């Protein structure tokens, strides 16, 4: 379908159901003030003023999908612990279904706690395991995918190397999606980088691209980037890729087209969660069959907008629509 305006595209987002498979986590924040240095060690003493508990990882992708008007179908694993219970409770508060969540009695819920003062990130404390799921857990996740994929228009693999996504599980899920003609979009990490065979669309950042292919070059070497993307597409037998290039913007190679889309000048406050926004927008654009330039341009614009906020926050659809409508892309 061809779209006559950005408004039409955003209206079509509302009809999509997006299956997100991957690693979820809690993004916890402790806000406070520093008034002295500890007598026990040369470190600041933070007096807590506020705590926050946010949905992170694949769950932040679900929030972005929801913010864009689509219906997220989240499939992931949490621990049978207090953080897991709070996580499921927070999903329910956000009106996101927990039907695809598997509760494990053998692994903890991933929690990343950030200590923040005066807009400074003092330290981060991680509670997690990156062990692969056991056979029982993987079977439970596979069953959830089989159920949820019946409703899906696109599948996002949100991989944080925390163990939910294995080579075998990825292959099963991709096969299920291909059998139904559902596009698959990947936000990869290192461990499974080359395991996403025959996916539709791949979205690494430049560092992940170089590490995944074991190549090295300067970040401004566009020829090397394009050569690496061609190599990646051949290895994965995928249809294309979107490479995020930080301050340089994004590069897309998809459906026989290549575009380098520059970043928009912004006041950057925090890059946390920008990749989650980019993959959410890209996946929904792929599901709608948008042209490659528009996929890259909208994803790039959304990723930049969330960087203006402190902490991990989902995209604001109205802000994105307002900005996109000014660009004259359609």
pLDDT tens, residue by residue, 151-207: 999 999 999 999 999 999 999 999 999 999 999 999 999 999 999 999 999 999 999
User: Is pLDDT above 70 for 312?
Assistant: no
pLDDT over 90 (residue 293): yes
Is the per-residue pLDDT at 225 higher than 70? yes
168-276-314 Cα angle (round to 5): 140
Could you tell me the CA-to-CA distances from 283 to 20, 111, 153 in Å, in that order? Answer: 10, 26, 10
**Residue 266 pLDDT class (50, 70, 90 cuts):** low
Of 74-88, 113-127, 206-220, 261-275, the range with the lowest mean pLDDT is 261-275
Burial (Cβ within 10 Å: 0-12, 13-18, ≥19) of residue 43: exposed
Displacement of CA 317 from its chain's centroid (Å): 17
Domains of the chain listed by start with CATH number: 6-34+46-325 (3.40.1190.20)
**Quick check: helix, strand or coil at residue 272?**
coil
Report the C-alpha gap between 319 and 291 in whole angstroms: 22
Return d(Cα 65, Cα 69) in angstroms, integer.
7
Report yes or no: 72 and 55 within 8 Å, Cβ to Cβ: no
Cα–Cα distance for residue pair 186/302, rounded to 1 Å: 17
Instruction: Provide the token pair at 308.
Output: 């203006």
Confidence band, pLDDT 50/70/90 cuts, at residue 308: low
**285 — alpha (psi -120 to 50), left (phi > 0) or beta?**
alpha
pLDDT at 230 over 60: yes
pLDDT at 259 exceeding the cut of 80: yes
Give the residues across from 254 on adjacent strands.
240, 257
pTM: 0.94
- At 45, the pLDDT band (50, 70, 90 cuts) reads very high
Q: How far apart are the first and last CA of the chain?
A: 14
- Selected catalytic residue, list 153, 159, 187, 276: 276
| Mean pLDDT along residues 43-67 | 96
Contacts of 86 by beta carbon, 8 Å cutoff, 6+ apart? 26, 53
The confidence band for 271, taking pLDDT boundaries of 50, 70 and 90, is low
Tell me if residue 65 falls in helix, strand or coil: helix
Q: Compute, in degrees rounded to 10, the torsion defined by CA atoms 281, 129, 98, 290.
A: 10
Contact at 8 Å (CB) between 61 and 158?
Answer: yes
Q: What is the mean pLDDT of the chain?
A: 94
Instruction: Quote the pLDDT of residue 207.
Output: 96
Which residue carries 């990947």 as its tokens?
A: 186
Q: How many beta carbons lie within 10 A of that of residue 95, not counting itself?
A: 9
Check whether 272 has a pLDDT greater than 80: no
**Residue 224 pLDDT:** 98
Residue 317: its pLDDT value, please? 95
Per-residue pLDDT at 210 exceeds 90: yes
- pLDDT-based confidence at 314, cuts 50/70/90? confident
The pLDDT of residue 114? 94
Measured CA distances, 198 to 157, 172, 204, 232, 235 (Å)? 13, 12, 16, 11, 9
The alpha carbons of the chain give a radius of gyration, in whole angstroms, of 20
pLDDT computed for residue 246 by the predictor: 87
**Annotation says 27 is catalytic:** no
- Give residue 118's pLDDT band: very low, low, confident or very high (50, 70, 90): confident
């Amino acid at each position: 379908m061809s779209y006559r305006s950005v408004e039409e595209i955003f209206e079509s987002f509302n009809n999509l159901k997006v299956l997100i498979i991957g690693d979820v986590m809690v993004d916890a924040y402790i806000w406070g003030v520093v008034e002295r240095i500890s007598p026990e060690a040369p470190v600041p003493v933070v007096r807590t003023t506020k705590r926050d508990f946010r949905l992170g990882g694949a769950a932040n992708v679900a929030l972005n999908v929801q913010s864009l008007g689509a219906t997220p179908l989240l499939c992931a694993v949490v621990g049978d612990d207090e953080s897991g219970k709070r996580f499921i409770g927070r999903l329910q508060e956000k009106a996101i279904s927990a039907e695809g969540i598997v509760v494990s009695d053998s692994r903890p819920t991933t929690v990343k706690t950030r200590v923040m003062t005066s807009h400074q990130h003092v330290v981060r404390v991680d509670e997690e395991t990156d062990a692969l799921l056991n056979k029982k857990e993987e079977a439970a996740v596979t069953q959830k995918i089989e159920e949820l994929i019946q409703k899906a228009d696109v599948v996002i693999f949100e991989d944080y190397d925390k163990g939910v996504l294995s080579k075998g599980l990825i292959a099963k899920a991709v096969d299920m999606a291909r059998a139904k003609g559902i596009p698959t979009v990947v936000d990869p990490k290192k461990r499974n980088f080359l395991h996403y065979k025959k996916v539709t669309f791949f979205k690494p950042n430049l560092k992940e691209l170089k590490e995944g292919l074991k190549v090295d070059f300067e970040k401004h070497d566009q020829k090397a980037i394009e050569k690496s993307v061609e190599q990646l597409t051949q290895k994965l037998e995928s249809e294309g890729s979107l490479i995020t290039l930080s301050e340089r913007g994004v590069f897309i190679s998809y459906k026989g087209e290549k575009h380098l889309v520059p970043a928009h000048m912004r006041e950057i406050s925090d890059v946390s969660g920008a990749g989650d926004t980019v993959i959410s927008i890209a996946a929904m654009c792929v599901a709608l069959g948008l042209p490659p330039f528009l996929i890259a341009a909208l994803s790039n614009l959304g990723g930049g907008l969330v960087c203006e906020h402190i902490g991990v926050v989902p995209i604001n659809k109205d802000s994105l629509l307002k900005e996109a409508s000014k660009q004259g892309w359609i």
